[in-house]
Amino acid sequence: MIKKLFIKIARILNYELIDQNKFISPTLNSEINDSLSDINKSIVLPLGKVNLTKKIKNLKIIFRTNSNIHIWDQNKKRIFDEPKNEYAKRSLYSLVKSIKNLNEKYPSIKVNLDIVENNSEKKNLEELEKILFDKKIKYKIINHNNSVHESEIKKQKNIETYSNLSSLLKCYQLAKNESEDIVYFVEDDYIHFKSSLEEMIGTYERISSQLSRELFICPTDYPYLYTNNEKTNILIGNKRHWRTISKTLCTFMTSKIFLDKYWENFYKTCLDRNDPFEKYLNEIYEKEICISPIKSLAIHITNINSSYGLSPFINYKSIWEENKND
């Protein structure tokens, strides 16, 4: 009787109890091995509870694709040596699975998917749309015309570079004009694990609530992070460790607040071929927190020797085969 009363009082006071002998939480009616978090709090043992003051309501995903360019700015081949459209299809298919999982875990979050295609062949585009058919995902396909940015982007040495800059600027402009809360920019050669978006959203809410600030989140544990001996801080997400980083490529998640605050950096990224390409994005990370997961939540399927390519300790063949969509 006293035990039941104590549990009831703990619930009223918003405390959580742990029975370490039975390894259960009587206040949550859950085993400790289960997820103890909910929409209002993030719980990671043994660190305790974080009240979620940052609640994500909307997620805009912008998937940028061009099936005609195998690896931009390189002559190297990708692992598995398939046509570019095969990488785009598996990337999108993995993203769709992750969106569906996110919808189950966070049903209150409104997810919108934009596909910005840049001169893809009609057949390849139809195959991408087939992946989305009957998936109950709100999406739209935008056929981008590079000519709209001729007066803004500096003339480049080749059409591929100009096309890359123009399609990227289109993505940033879409996000600036249409996103409401969180935006995730994704390139068409990243294969996601099913839990990727769920963990990215859960981690964003947890760490943003702890630090009372917005974030940048990169989904990939790049090889370069283990070669330059750069100092980092380790943070706890909702299901794994994360580290602070100072560089990303163009696949990352952030907020509409940061998009507006650092619009000049986003815009200048697309006006010319910078060295490095992400120069103005990396400048933001000198002022704000950018994190990536340990282990990776999305795999950059590129050349095996790329320092921004395959993440360590991943079964590449397995994740590749799991996302084949016939």
How does pLDDT run along the chain (326 residues), one tens digit per residue?
665 555 565 556 565 656 565 556 665 566 655 566 666 777 776 677 788 999 999 999 999 998 776 665 666 789 999 988 999 999 999 999 999 999 999 999 999 999 999 877 788 888 888 998 877 899 999 999 999 999 999 999 888 899 999 999 999 999 999 999 999 999 999 999 999 999 999 999 999 999 999 999 999 999 999 998 889 999 999 999 999 999 999 999 999 999 999 999 999 999 999 999 999 999 999 999 999 999 999 999 998 888 888 999 999 999 999 999 87
- How is the chain split into domains, by residue range? 1-34, 58-322
Handedness of CA 163, 168, 171, 176 (dihedral sign): negative
Which pLDDT score, from 0 to 100, does residue 119 have?
76
Number of other CB atoms surrounding residue 2 within 10 Å? 6
Q: Which position has the token pair 């964003």?
A: 204
pLDDT of res. 24: 63
Give the pLDDT score at 228: 81
Is pTM beyond 0.85? Reply is yes
Please give the pLDDT value at position 305: 86
pLDDT for position 3: 58
Q: What angle do CA 158, 164, 169 make, to 5 degrees?
A: 130
CATH class of the 58-322 domain in this structure: alpha beta
